[in-house]
């Protein structure tokens, strides 16, 4: 398998999942501004939408969209239990968490990453993220992980969003549960490896 990624982007989530799963894979970096890969290829021939992540399987099939990719990865290594048992209520909780992160947190960063965004749009985005991070903190109150008592692919995804909060100067101090979660996930060997691979360690 090959993961197409951009350092620190949402592709960090499947990068973490691949390492947690213990699967063999390669990576190729993508320049999102020029939509070219490190080898000089036109990335839109891999993912016509032009953004990361994309996971190219050994048979040439390409998967896109992070929440789908991490579930595929987890399914290739069931012994690692990166997702709860199929058809269990915990499995549906995982889907609930992944969708919440994707639609309410991930997309909420858009105006903050867009240099053309107006100041009112940025303020609205910050207010939205403040509310959603508060909700995420409540999900973690009294829990180490988002679903059950084990690390899941949803935890890797939320961790990436918390690193984004740092990059746009959103202070997590008001949410001790998120701060503790971020530190706990960051300490995992697979997460440290993914951060090192993407040259993101300070």
Strand-pairing partners, residue 55, are 3, 63
pLDDT bracket for residue 7 (50, 70, 90) = very high
Domain boundaries in the chain? 2-80+191-197, 89-188
**What is the value of pTM for the model shown?**
0.97
Architecture category of domain 89-188 in CATH: Up-down Bundle (1.20)
In the sheet that holds 62-64, the strands lie side by side as 36-37, 26-31, 2-5, 54-56, 62-64
pLDDT, tens digit, 9 for 90 and up, residues 126-170: 999 999 999 999 999 999 999 999 999 999 999 999 999 999 999
Tell me yes or no: is domain 2-80+191-197 CATH 3.20.20.450: no
CB 47 within 8 A of CB 38: no
């Amino acid at each position: 398998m090959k993961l197409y990624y951009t350092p620190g982007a949402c592709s960090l989530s499947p990068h973490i999942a691949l390492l947690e799963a213990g699967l063999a894979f390669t990576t190729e970096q993508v320049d999102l501004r020029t939509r070219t890969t490190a080898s000089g290829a036109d990335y839109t021939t891999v993912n016509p939408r032009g953004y990361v992540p994309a996971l190219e399987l050994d048979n040439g099939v390409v998967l896109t969209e992070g929440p789908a990719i991490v579930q595929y990865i987890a399914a290739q290594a069931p012994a690692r239990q990166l997702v709860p048992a199929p058809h269990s209520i915990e499995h549906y909780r995982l889907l609930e968490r992944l969708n919440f992160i994707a639609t309410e947190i991930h997309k909420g960063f858009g105006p903050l990453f867009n240099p053309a965004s107006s100041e009112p749009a940025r303020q609205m985005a910050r207010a939205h993220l403040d509310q959603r991070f508060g909700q995420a903190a409540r999900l973690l109150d009294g829990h180490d992980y988002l679903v059950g008592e084990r690390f899941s692919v949803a935890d890797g995804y939320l961790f990436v969003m918390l690193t984004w909060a740092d990059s746009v100067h959103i202070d997590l101090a008001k949410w001790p549960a998120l701060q503790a979660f971020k530190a706990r996930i960051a300490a995992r060997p697979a997460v440290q490896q993914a951060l090192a691979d993407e040259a993101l360690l300070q």
